[in-house]
A and B are shown apart, each in its own frame.
Chain A
């Protein structure tokens, strides 16, 4: 009866860390999957869909995060999440729907 689980480790590489738009992207992505995803930094565990909580982690450049997923598509959601992190939340792209090159101040 136990659900499949998956874990990954990522390092935040983009300059401004997990900012508001990045946290939003994480939440949007996680919502597309069934699995429940937790982001863990040190002793703090927060749910991936809770943007305020994700922001409160204060994950800056160089911080290591553990990702934990529980659910049928656990592996898949984490694969996608890791991609999002390694692409620096699409920050380099100048403009498209998910683009974030000019985060509002």
Chain B
């Protein structure tokens, strides 16, 4: 048994069979082969070496012909490396003596060579490690053949263990069978985290390297609550996790009963609990949990999921699907919140040393109007189908907001000219996630229809912490007094107008903060669909007065740790079954 600690990004517990993928999205099959299969496996290895050699020869000839003999030379080197006699005998030894699968043996052995090269003093030679990886990939491709299908076609439930997941892998994965994720790298904001949350399956990221310790088919436990991954668990651990799985299931059933009860406090103050979604299919999760609407529809995956820029109809289709399922409930669409590096067809930024402070989100939109207009046209067209609202991310200055609104007005005019239907009273809001915007909210509230607090970025910018950096992630605290003050300022600014204010960051879905936020005056929560029942349960268990007392007490405290432990205690006191 081996335990790995990572970052918990999507809650829940799951026990299952591992599907291991390498950097390239290859599925690495089982580590061991049966004794009587050894000869067949060796034959398979030799066939793969042979096929790989043939490929290299063909490449060499093609490249030599096109670019000249000297460019083909590197392939000659690859060919020779592949035919290295000691390499062959090392592989054979692993398969024969240790019963490793050829794939596993190839991966182990070539990576060892790569490490040797990387350690060499000559930087020139160290670079040669990439040649070794190249050969490894070529051999694996030949060994795996048609089995190299990644996670888009699966036939049985699996837990996906991988170095990292690319956006296109996550969008194309087989949703029916993926039950959990573990990635070696990544932080709370990674694609894996977002997708796992969307699929409502447990996920742990940032475990550090471990893929060499596990092989396809191994039994694995993912504890998405504690951020733990357990490889080859023993009987005792298995039993305790099976019990936990059962508990979670029964708690979910109990919470499910809340679905059709209104979101309100024990003393009858009405609230709204919306769902945050990223993919259209998640709207079903919202409906299932009795959400009051979609409070945050992130549109980034429309851009990340494919190689080409999504056209207007792609946007419109996605929005339409969400709106149809939501009926007359509101759907707030956030315009794209990406850096230039993530948008296909945009040139890579030159000076992006500091992406979070760089050209992203609404800034990028305002610099690439055709891209922005395409999305806005689709949103406006969709506004004829239901209660659509639009909001802009990362608004920092009044000027930005006005520019963005002008683009909307412009697109409206265009649609009108073409006689295309849309809602001319479309509500326009902004994300509150830059401290500068909070400072200027008294001005902003005159020019927007609603506010939505994005705590993830607000915390990062206020506390100057990159939460994907493990060395400082400990400084990232949702309940830092400075953050509470900014949230309070935002709620007060909205109430002064009054316009609605919503909180859609992860803080909103964390039960610890529900009482605090209610006490600070928040009445609209937007949370991951899976968190809706829990948050509703808390709201229905407490009175506003209790929350106000807790909030004002918390706001007198000096540091995040003190505040957090106080809020935990309060939750335990008021809602014992959720306050563990």
Which of A's residues lie within 8 Å of B, judged by CB? 15-21, 23-24, 27-28, 46-47, 49-53, 55-56, 58, 60-61, 95, 97, 99-105
**Set of chain B residues within 8 Å of A95, measured between Cβ atoms:** 68-70
Q: Does B62 contact A (CB under 8 A)?
A: no
Q: Does B71 contact A (CB under 8 A)?
A: yes
> Out of B74, B84, B120, B125, which one reaches A52, CB within 8 Å?
B84
**Set of chain B residues within 8 Å of A53, measured between Cβ atoms:** 84, 86
With A20-B131, A27-B80 as contacts: A55 and B73 at CB distance below 8 Å = no
> Among residues 105 to 140 in chain B, which have CB atoms less than 8 Å away from a CB atom of chain A?
113, 116-117, 120-122, 124-125, 127-128, 131
**Set of chain A residues within 8 Å of B238, measured between Cβ atoms:** none
B516 nearest CB across to chain A (Å) = 56
A104 nearest CB across to chain B (Å) = 4
> Among residues 60 to 87 in chain B, which have CB atoms less than 8 Å away from a CB atom of chain A?
68-71, 73-74, 76-77, 80-81, 83-87
**Set of chain A residues within 8 Å of B74, measured between Cβ atoms:** 20-21, 103-104
> Out of A19, A55, A97, A100, which one reaches B81, CB within 8 Å?
A55
Say yes or no: A50 contacts B86, CB within 8 Å: yes
Specify the chain A residue showing the minimal Cβ separation from B112.
A56
Say yes or no: A51 contacts B80, CB within 8 Å: yes
With A24-B76, A95-B68, A104-B73 as contacts: A50 and B122 at CB distance below 8 Å = no
**Set of chain A residues within 8 Å of B86, measured between Cβ atoms:** 46-47, 50, 52-53
**Set of chain A residues within 8 Å of B125, measured between Cβ atoms:** 16-19, 55, 58, 60
Say yes or no: B70 contacts A102, CB within 8 Å: yes
A19 to B83, CA, bound (A): 17
Say yes or no: A58 contacts B81, CB within 8 Å: no
With A23-B80, A24-B76, A50-B84 as contacts: A100 and B70 at CB distance below 8 Å = yes
A105 nearest CB across to chain B (Å) = 7
A100 to B76, CA, bound (A): 12
**Set of chain B residues within 8 Å of A58, measured between Cβ atoms:** 116-117, 120-122, 125
A28 to B71, CA, bound (A): 18
For the complex of A and B, list the 3 residue pairs with the smallest distance between their C-beta atoms, beginning with the closest: A58-B120, A20-B77, A51-B80
B69 nearest CB across to chain A (Å) = 6
16 A-B interface contacts by CB (under 8 A): A15-B124, A18-B125, A21-B73, A21-B76, A23-B77, A50-B84, A51-B84, A52-B87, A56-B113, A56-B117, A60-B121, A95-B69, A103-B73, A104-B71, A104-B74, A105-B127
Specify the chain A residue showing the minimal Cβ separation from B72.
A104
**Set of chain A residues within 8 Å of B71, measured between Cβ atoms:** 102, 104
Number of interface residues of B (CB under 8 A): 26
> Among residues 514 to 570 in chain B, which have CB atoms less than 8 Å away from a CB atom of chain A?
none
A17 to B127, CA, bound (A): 13
Number of A-B contacts (CB under 8 A): 83
Specify the chain A residue showing the minimal Cβ separation from B128.
A20
**Set of chain B residues within 8 Å of A52, measured between Cβ atoms:** 81, 84, 86-87, 113
With A50-B84, A56-B113, A56-B116 as contacts: A21 and B77 at CB distance below 8 Å = yes
> Out of A56, A60, A97, which one reaches B122, CB within 8 Å?
A60
Say yes or no: B69 contacts A55, CB within 8 Å: no
**Set of chain B residues within 8 Å of A15, measured between Cβ atoms:** 124
Specify the chain B residue showing the minimal Cβ separation from A27.
B80
A26 to B177, CA, bound (A): 51
Q: A17-B122, A47-B85, A56-B117 are in contact. List 4 more A-B contacts (CB 8 A).
A: A24-B77, A52-B81, A95-B68, A95-B70
Say yes or no: B85 contacts A50, CB within 8 Å: yes
Say yes or no: B122 contacts A101, CB within 8 Å: no
With A55-B117, A58-B125 as contacts: A24 and B80 at CB distance below 8 Å = yes
A18 nearest CB across to chain B (Å) = 8
A6 nearest CB across to chain B (Å) = 22
Specify the chain B residue showing the minimal Cβ separation from A18.
B125
Specify the chain A residue showing the minimal Cβ separation from B119.
A58
**Which residue, B69, B84, B86, has most C-beta atoms of chain A within 10 A?**
B84
A67 to B86, CA, bound (A): 19
A51 to B127, CA, bound (A): 16
**Set of chain A residues within 8 Å of B87, measured between Cβ atoms:** 50, 52
**Set of chain B residues within 8 Å of A47, measured between Cβ atoms:** 85-86
A53 to B109, CA, bound (A): 13
**Set of chain B residues within 8 Å of A16, measured between Cβ atoms:** 122, 124-125
**Set of chain B residues within 8 Å of A103, measured between Cβ atoms:** 73-74
A103 to B76, CA, bound (A): 12
A3 to B122, CA, bound (A): 36
B350 nearest CB across to chain A (Å) = 22
Say yes or no: A17 contacts B117, CB within 8 Å: no
Specify the chain B residue showing the minimal Cβ separation from A51.
B80
With A99-B70, A100-B70 as contacts: A55 and B76 at CB distance below 8 Å = no
**Set of chain A residues within 8 Å of B117, measured between Cβ atoms:** 55-56, 58
**Set of chain A residues within 8 Å of B69, measured between Cβ atoms:** 95, 97, 99
A17 to B70, CA, bound (A): 18
A102 to B70, CA, bound (A): 7
